[in-house]
Amino acid sequence: MSEASLIETIHSPADLRQLSRAQLKQLAREVRASVLDNVSRTGGHLSSNLGTVELTIALHVVFDTPGDRLVWDVGHQTYPHKILTGRRERMPTLRQLGGISGFPRRDESAYDTFGTAHSSTSISAALGMALAARQKGEDRKAVAIIGDGAMTAGMAFEALNNAGVERDARLLVVLNDNDMSISPPVGALNRYLAQLMSGHFYAAAKNVGKTMLGPVPPLFELAKRLEQQAKGMVVPATLFEKFGFNYIGPIDGHDLDSLIPTLENIRDLMEQKAGPQFLHVVTKKGQGYKLAEADPVAYHGPGKFDPAVGLVKPATPPKQTFTQVFGQWLCDMAGHDQRLVGITPAMREGSGMVEFHKRFPDRYYDVGIAEQHAVTFAAGLACEGLKPVVAIYSTFLQRAYDQLIHDVAIQNLPVVFALDRAGLVGADGATHAGNYDIAYLRCIPNVSLACPADERECRQLLSTAFGQDHPVAVRYPRGAGVGAQPLGDLSALPFGKGELRREGQRIAILAFGTLLYPALEAAERLDATVANMRWAKPLDTELLLQIAARHEVLVTVEEGAIMGGAGSAVLEALAAAGVSRPVLQLGLPDQFIEHGDPARLLALQGLDAAGIESSIRQRFDAERPSAPALKLVP
């Protein structure tokens, strides 16, 4: 069998189990090459997937998947898993409209046992599956593969705490440790110790020791301490064993000759209901591709590139992104105001804080993947007179909703939330879309929400938010806007005030955020008025009522959920003022929107210029001659 053809014979994990160890190693090389080839064509997560090839093969060889459940965490390390579970031929559609997801999806494959894209959920889900099997009398196992920083989240430790008391749960937690600064050595000695510690002899010896020495407490305690010290010389076992897990490792996550026997031993322990197991494997991000090994951050989620050349800077500099606008503003405002501190939950690069970290290291806090802690930590800083800026993706602030209400809003603390990735995010799909922040923030007392239309307004509204003495969020999308050059100063825009951008007839479009520009384009063809509302809360009711008095119908446009969104705020304000007008709400529907090109997704939702125009004409028959403005209803 030629090396080029081996991967083509794998249609399911059952095929893996027919291969020799040498063939599995060959397959690992082919899978790694397939991941690199496909990601270079579609874009996607590269470094983390190159690092999980051997681990994925070993898990599918040893465990009877999909009967045995594999739960992957964070979920962006599952490309090898997809290739080996019947989706190799669909990999060229990865993250494309109508193609397969970049994350596990239950509706995509029986091998994707749990949808994971936000971090640190795997242990909870796998424990639920293990205990469900116990309750139903089913003989199957559950494995949580957690890594890429996901163990820093409190939820992971909550799950460990729960799992540790379930002594008969057939649960394995695999810590995929791809932190290259790990200190314990990985090699033949650790391989031998890991296999020995996972084997029957070691487990039996521990049990015999407990039986023999149990009646003599001093001797039993001495033996216990000696065991812990011996293990502590080579493994960081104590923490996880205190949770009630049998800790094994660390072992080389790229060595199939170590992984497979160790997992086989652990599988046998699970069959004996020997308690929850914990395997610590060490992998390298970018393994097998030198450029990604050297710079795993740059190759974490690249776009399309030539693998032979690697990532190259474009000949013409791209437009400045909203994230970059925020990063520059953060540095400038920090230089102006010593009270500013910046906080990120493990998204320094993604949130544009690299330069801030470099220039103001004593005022920069990366709290790990711990969004709840990030928000309450900010509240504590604000209580002492500092001005925290929490840089967080819209989709991740959802994870700290109680802290936002209980710890920030009720106490009315001046915390600024820089909400990156608001609206549709494209290839990452529904799990990462920031569609709900207007709705979930607007209902919280004391919280204000700004929606900048372009890069210049983003910088100015961040300054406005920072100048307030209560919590304010500023939402902005991924990528670049229309290219409006930000001003060099720290000037602010008026709080809670919008502006009239175009005067027209009969129809008025109220735009929130970056959809102002397609709304203006549609308005040219409709001869409609356009307002840049800027604030979803507080709503500029003065401007709204002025517009309502001079127009027959109103249209609200937002890149957010229609239900409870900015359009709902307009309807509420009109009702409160006793004003009756037909209102067309344009935004994102009550459904999860799949992955794809962002511009294409917006067009499919009718939120490009053509779609806005079409919806207005269909609803209000815009071709009809202009009618006199309606009077306010008393």
Catalytic status, residue 371: yes
Give the residues across from 530 on adjacent strands: 502, 509
- Token pair, residue 562, equals 């229609």
- CA nearest to 13, candidates 91, 71, 67: 67
CB 614 within 8 A of CB 586: no
- Strand, coil or helix: what is 417? strand
Those residues whose C-beta lies under 8 Å from the C-beta of residue 98, and which sit 6 or more positions away, are 594, 596
CB 419 within 8 A of CB 393: yes
Catalytic residue among 285, 387, 442, 506: 285
- Token pair, residue 213, equals 């020495």
CB 611 within 8 A of CB 605: yes
CB burial of residue 590 (10 Å; 0-12, 13-18, 19+): exposed
Those residues whose C-beta lies under 8 Å from the C-beta of residue 491, and which sit 6 or more positions away, are 460, 463
Those residues whose C-beta lies under 8 Å from the C-beta of residue 582, and which sit 6 or more positions away, are 552, 553, 554, 619, 620
Catalytic status, residue 399: yes
Q: What is d(CA 630, CA 619) in angstroms, rounded to the nearest whole number?
A: 18
Give the residues across from 419 on adjacent strands: 392, 475
- Token pair, residue 429, equals 């799909």
Q: What is d(CA 95, CA 117) in angstroms, rounded to the nearest whole number?
A: 13
- CA nearest to 486, candidates 328, 318, 351: 328
CB 286 within 8 A of CB 52: no
Catalytic residue among 54, 371, 455, 457: 371
| DSSP letter (8 states) at residue 487 | P
Q: What is d(CA 133, CA 331) in angstroms, rounded to the nearest whole number?
A: 52
Catalytic residue among 87, 105, 399, 537: 399
For the chain, what's the residue count? 634
Q: What is d(CA 501, CA 531) in angstroms, rounded to the nearest whole number?
A: 5
CA distances from 399 to 71, 124, 205, 250 (A): 20, 15, 44, 31
Q: What is d(CA 74, CA 301) in angstroms, rounded to the nearest whole number?
A: 14
Catalytic residue IDs:
285, 371, 399
